[in-house]
Homo-oligomer: A and B are copies of this chain.
Amino acid sequence: MRAEPQDFSRVLSSMCTEPHPAAREAAETFLATNPGDPGTYQTVAELEGDAVDALGEIAGLDEPHGYIASGGTEANIQAVRAARDLAATDAPNVVAPESAHFSFRKAAGILGVELRTAPVDSDYRARVDAMTELADEDTALVVGVAGSTEYGRVDPLAALSDVADDAGALFHVDAAWGGFVLPFTDEEWHFDHVGVDTLTIDPHKMGRAAIPAGGLLARSPDVLDALAVDTPYLESTEQATLTGTRSGAGVASTVAALEALWPAGYREQYVRAQNNAEWLADALDERGYDVVEPTLPLVAADVPRSLFARLREEGWRISRTGAGELRVVCMPHVTREMLESFVADIDALARTPSTVE
């Protein structure tokens, strides 16, 4: 097998990263375990309880209910599913900002709920007035984003929580990517700050656990109960996850990463990433490109399409926002040297004529 492991030296597009060494080791140790069958795989099932408790500590919840999902998409789908099944309506809808992750569109299609998306303001944050207008008595869930995929923005979550309350809906916060950097900012984002009912926080993104490790947390056990199905021929009796068999690697590496990095290691990682993002934003601004200021470690800038294409030809793994801007996620594997090299390539390419377009 021609197995070349992933080279992260030019990856600027991913919201995943290299796992922490302790997380990698734990993942390898627990590779052949299945927390989806806790009666058989008891050790990893206990570890999952530890992982949920630790995520609860980060997200301001003393007695968290939840589990380690395959990722943020599953966690978001499950939040919509629970809200749908707990809502007292035959035509449930979900109100979310248009900046919400595409997994909410996927969830709506799968679950047969109407997704209503509200425009964002000039700083790419949910417009509370627009969200309010969309919410009604059939709204099962209001979604706020804490670290948006495109611009790393945090919605006005306290106000959105009120929108949910007024509509009699549950309030979900998607902190899939932001959850491991927000604790070191002044943002109000978690269960102890605002009236959050469910929250997505992914260890395999900024948390440096191994894929697949997403996190779904809920304030009330009712949410997990709404998701549970009976499980004959397993010694456990219920299963609240979307998938059946699951990876023990994700669970064990979550526990290991949290033990190694919470809180000091994550704080240090955040400071370095945020400094890198600000350095890159300044460098692009100095070169005349329109930059979206990074409030979290994610930079967007309006570079010409031809330059973008040539940077990809140089091997840079970069992606675009919906509006077509260059988007760079300053994950832990993204060093200052990488960014310097990236900017040097931009300078070199900008000097040579393009044959594209």
Task: Give residues in A with beta carbon < 8 Å to B.
Answer: 1, 3-6, 8, 11, 13-19, 22, 24, 26-34, 36-37, 39-41, 43-44, 70-74, 77, 81, 85, 101-103, 105-106, 109-112, 149-150, 202, 204, 210-212, 214, 229-235, 239, 242-250, 252, 255-256, 259, 312, 317, 319-322, 327
Contacts and interface: CB of A to CB of B under 8 A. Distances in A.
A177 to B, nearest CB: 11
Contacts of A255: 1
Contacts of A28: 28, 31
Nearest to A23: B31
Instruction: Enumerate the 3 nearest inter-chain pairs by beta-carbon distance, A residue then B residue, closest first.
Output: A73-B244, A71-B245, A40-B317
A233 to B, nearest CB: 5
B212 A212 contact: yes
Given A1-B26, A18-B32, A71-B245, 20 more contacts: A1-B255, A3-B30, A5-B30, A6-B30, A11-B40, A13-B235, A15-B245, A16-B32, A19-B32, A32-B211, A71-B243, A71-B244, A106-B244, A110-B110, A212-B247, A232-B322, A235-B312, A235-B320, A243-B243, A247-B247
Contacts of A14: 34, 37, 40-41
**Binding site of A, secondary structure by majority: helix, strand, loop or mixed?**
loop
A245 B4 contact: no
Contacts of A319: 39-40, 233-235
A27 B312 CA distance: 27
Given A242-B242, A252-B3, A39 B16 contact: no
Contacts of A17: 32
Nearest to A253: B31
A212 B245 contact: yes
Contact of A150 (B11, B36, B204, B233): B233
B39 A317 contact: yes
B34 A105 contact: no
B27 A31 contact: yes
A1 B255 CA distance: 8
B150 A106 contact: no
A70 B77 CA distance: 15
Contact of A212 (B4, B19, B246, B322): B246
A79 to B, nearest CB: 13
9 contacts: A3-B26, A14-B40, A16-B34, A74-B244, A110-B110, A211-B249, A212-B212, A212-B245, A247-B247
B212 A41 contact: no
Given A13-B235, A235-B13, A72 B245 contact: yes
A141 B212 CA distance: 30
A110 to B, nearest CB: 6
Among A72, A103, A110, find the residue whose CB has the most chain B CB atoms closer than 10 A: A110
Nearest to A8: B32
A108 B206 CA distance: 34
B6 A41 contact: yes
A322 B150 CA distance: 48
A243 B70 contact: yes
